[in-house]
Every structure is written in structure tokens, then in C-alpha cells.
Amino acid sequence: MSFQNPVFIPGPTNIPEHLRKACDMPTIDHRSPLFGKILHPARESVKKILKSNAAEIFIFPSSGTGGWETALTNTLSSGDKVLAARNGMFSHRWIDMCQRHGLDVQVVETPWGDGLPADRYEEILSADMNHEIKVVLATHNETATGVKSDIGAVRRALDAANHPAMLFVDGVSSIASMDFRFDDWGVDVAVTGSQKGFMLAAGLAIVGFSPKAMDATKTANLPRTFFDVHDMAKGYANNAYPYTPAVGLMNGLNQACIMLLDEGLENVFARHHRIAEGVRAAVKAWGLTLCAKEPEVYSDTVSAICTPKNFNATDIVTHAADKYGVAFGVGLGEVAGKVFRIGHLGSLTDVMALSGIATAEMCMVDLGLDVKLGSGVAAAQNYYRNNTTAA
């Protein structure tokens, strides 16, 4: 078993050497100006990555799931109405969390492989004359299906219905890899984690709150302690947390943001798009299809690839790990056994992507699928040769 191969799971992603070292720190006083020199720049940089002037950034020692909980418990009260579409495992889990917190979720069942139905949102919001719906949830990138949704369209649906509900966006597998526009899209809470676009180990929940979401905290009555944003804000004012922060990871986050902003956000997004297009060229050459139904919803961070009927897609993942020491993602929930996933986000180059494509191809041939060795690799090579930028 090698630790040298890159992983192709859609998070946690590959950690650049520089960031691994940045996380490896001697102990410092976590209630001191020295910690403030890590904390404040990290929060400022995250704000830039969200493309926001307005957002207040909070970083919890948690994971993306804790970010969901931060969003809900700080802004909502028991019995509040929430509108959400279920189009994959991650939107499903956020809905489940709402229900467990005693929220009343109106669920729009949406085929797995489709994007969020902004038109259905508009109809439902327009019919909600008394403005009972307090929040609309939107999963920007459904990691289970490799589907990207149009958050701008969800904002337009809210505006067309003239509805005051807040817009909460799960950007765990999009932020820092695909374009995200907190201010332009009128996002009220954005949620992400450290282990996907930020190229770090899991351990941080990263959230942005709009002024409107901060206002909602004043009346929200759901219980919250660990994830209370006001306790956190008080800590920040003193270069500290209400408890002990994950100092090493915070230092890593600060450095990750510097790396991303140095590369340039638009270049980061273009790199993800280029790598994804190469993977999609390979899928086409294999004669396979994506779970994502239309090109408009193709994700630039993960591809869920459908395998032929009567074939268990999970076998590819097991075989890749056993024989080649390479990790791909399994299908989750409704698409378990029907798809395998190639994660292509974070610290990744064309050359690394080619190794993943080559490995997936070997596995499929080993397992008897009708795929020609070299076909996907050649398709991706052709794409990368003709669309590359200087390394």
C-alpha cells in the first residue's frame, strides 16, 4: 500500500506539502495577539474567496456538517418553515438535520442527477403569501451526483416572488474550487469545510453570515452553545475562541488562502474546469455517461460516472484500492452501486488527473467492462494538450 498516490475522492483532497508543514506547529498561546496574526488574516482571506464585502466569517473546530448546524441553530426557531430540494445525499442530510432540530421542511423531491429546481422554488415562494418560509436551502454542488446548481437562479426566484426568506448555501464541495458569489447572489449563510477546496485535513467548519443572517440571530431560539456565533465573535475580538481553537489547522487555512489568492481565484476555477473537462472527455471515450443529466449542471469538482446495468460500480472502487492503491469515491444513497466518483478538486494538476483516469481505466478493463485500454487517457491527453496553461 502506497501513501504516495494522489487520492481521487471528492474530499478530503490531496494536501500540498507546504500546507502539511504549515499545520505542523509548536504550541502557541491561543489567546494572544500571536494567534490573532493567524486568525484575522484567515478570516479576511475567506471573505475574499467568498467574493464578499458584507459577510462575517466564523471558523469552528468542526466539519462541514457543523457548518450546517451553525447556519440553522443561530438563525431559526423551533417549528420554523424551511424550503429545500433533495437531489442527492448531501441535500438529504441537511434536510434530515433540519427535521431533527424540529424545523418544518417543505421538501421538493428532485431526480438525482438534476440541479436545484429554481422554477419550483419560485412557485412555492410566490404561493407563500404570509412569508412563513424563513429559509431556502441550496446545495451548490451535490457531491453525491456531481451536479452543480445555479445559485443565481435561486436568488432570482426569491426576488421574483418578492419573498424575504434567507438563502443558505452549502458550498462545501464548491467554495475555493468553483466560482462562488456571496454578495452577488444575495447569500445569507455560506457553509464550507477545510478538507475540500482548501486542501487541508478535515477539522474546520467555515461559514459566512450576511448582515441579515446576523439580525436573525437576535430572535432565533434553537438551542446552541458550541456553534453560537456571538460567543465566537466575542472571542475573536480578543484574538481568541470561546474554547480552544485548532491552531495548526488555522495556520494551514491562512496559508491555503494565500496559495489560492496567489494563483488567482479565476485561475483556480479555470484549472478545475480544465481538469474536469479532461475527465469528462475520458468518460465519453469509455462510452459511459455521467449521473449529471445536462452539461449546464456538470460539476467541475467531482464526476459521478454511471456503469452499465448489472455491474456493481463499487467494485471499481474496491479493486482500485486493493490492486493499485488508489482511492475513488463510491456511489451514495440512491446511486450506491450505480456510480463511482472521480473527485477532481483541490491540489490537482492535469498530470495527476491523467494518473487517475489511467487507473480507473485499468480497473474497468480488469473487471471485464467493455472499455478500451488507453481510450480515456488519450481523450484526456488530447484535451489537456490543447487547453493547457503554463505549469
Ligand X SMILES: *Cc1c(COP(=O)(O)O)cnc(C)c1O
Question: Which parts of this chain interact with ligand X (CB under 6 A)?
Answer: 11, 63-65, 90, 139, 141, 143, 170, 172-173, 193, 202
Q: Which is nearer to ligand X, 173 or 239 (CB)?
A: 173
Minimum distance from residue 171 beta carbon to ligand X (Å): 8
Minimum distance from residue 379 beta carbon to ligand X (Å): 27
Minimum distance from residue 336 beta carbon to ligand X (Å): 16
Minimum distance from residue 55 beta carbon to ligand X (Å): 19
Q: Which is nearer to ligand X, 173 or 307 (CB)?
A: 173
Minimum distance from residue 203 beta carbon to ligand X (Å): 9
Q: Which is nearer to ligand X, 87 or 307 (CB)?
A: 87
Q: Which is nearer to ligand X, 118 or 377 (CB)?
A: 118
Q: Which is nearer to ligand X, 137 or 172 (CB)?
A: 172
Q: Which is nearer to ligand X, 13 or 239 (CB)?
A: 13
Minimum distance from residue 326 beta carbon to ligand X (Å): 20
Minimum distance from residue 313 beta carbon to ligand X (Å): 19
Minimum distance from residue 68 beta carbon to ligand X (Å): 7
Q: Which is nearer to ligand X, 88 or 248 (CB)?
A: 88
Q: Is 371 left (phi over 0), alpha (psi -120 to 50) or beta?
A: beta
The residue number whose beta carbon is nearest to ligand X equals 64
Q: Which is nearer to ligand X, 196 or 338 (CB)?
A: 196
